[in-house]
Structure 1
Amino acid sequence: MRTKRVVGWVLRLALALVFLAAGASKLAGEASQVTLFADIGAGQWMRHLVGVCEVAGAVGLLVPRLHRAAAAGLALVMLGATLVNVVVLGYDPALTIGLFVAAVAVLWLTQPVSDRDPLVAADR
């Protein structure tokens, strides 16, 4: 069980770094992100919304009480990104699928077994 917990934390930290950087680039208005969201046709408000969700999810991954909700939210963001990549942009969805799988893996690795499980009690 200790290995599962360590892998879960390492994955949470790695995802937090990825989503913090991705969200920050959207919120900073990097030219590539502005162009990408213009190509999507959803407007720049969507870039801001996704950026806020990614940064909030990154922070949430590092908070024990919030990490499962954050992982679920980021998985949903990546599901939407995958659909947009395939249907709207015609891009290869490998990266967004990989991030989706990683977020779901956090959910699986950190699922509570029971309230008496010492790993659950340690996170509270």
Structure 2
Amino acid sequence: MSTIVAPARPYWTSAALWFVRGLLALVFVAAGGAKLYGVPMLVENFQHIGLGQWFRYVTGGLEIIGAILLLLPHKTVLGALLLICIMVGAVITHLFIIGGSAVPAIVLLALNAVVAYAGRGQIASLVKASPAKTLPGKTS
């Protein structure tokens, strides 16, 4: 069995990636905390969405979980992928339900995509490590 050794990233690339991860973590802890705290503007926005206030709590909790995962070296990609899903939903919601500018959500989506792309090796190892499940009666 051969092993592939990836070349080390230049220092400035690693430092820039840590900076982006830290910035994203701060933004999502603040946004998630505001949702959990119940800032009136956010309560009104989630009322307008029509799914109920439970969705605000779930979204805020997931944003905080994603922010924490961004700061954990071996879980960074999971955090970025979780936050990408949340930001895709935010962009769609801004464009078709709430109105207003979707630019902040698009910027956060793009920054999370950069973090996920930088950790694409982790994604491959996560996929390989997960046990393959087959349907009963199916053979692979």
Report TM bin, short chain: 0.7 to 0.9
- Give 2:33's aligned residue: 24
Identity %: 33
Whole-angstrom distance in 2 between the partners of 1:34 and 1:81:
15
Kindly state the Cα deviation for residue 111 of structure 1 after the two structures are TM-superposed.
3.3
Number of the residue aligned with 2:4: none
Letter of the aligned partner of 2:97 in structure 1? V
Structure 1 gap segments, 5+ residues each: 114-124
1:50 to 47, 55, 59: 59
TM-score of the superposed pair, with normalisation by structure 1: 0.87
Q: Find the partner of 2:70 among 61, 65, 68.
A: 61
Structure 2 gaps, min length 5: 1-8, 123-140
- Separation in 1, partners of 2:63, 2:77: 14
Normalized per residue, the structure richer in helix is 1
| Higher relative contact order, structure no. (Cα contacts within 8 Å, ≥ 6 residues apart) | 1
SS in 2 for 1:112: helix
Partner of 2:5: none
**Cα deviation 1:7-62 (Å, max 9, x = unaligned):** 11100000000000000000011111111101111110110010000000011111
Match of 2:103 among 94, 109, 118: 94
Q: Which has the larger radius of gyration?
A: 2
How many residue pairs align between the two structures? 113
> Considering only aligned residues, what root-mean-square deviation do their CA atoms show, in Å?
1.2
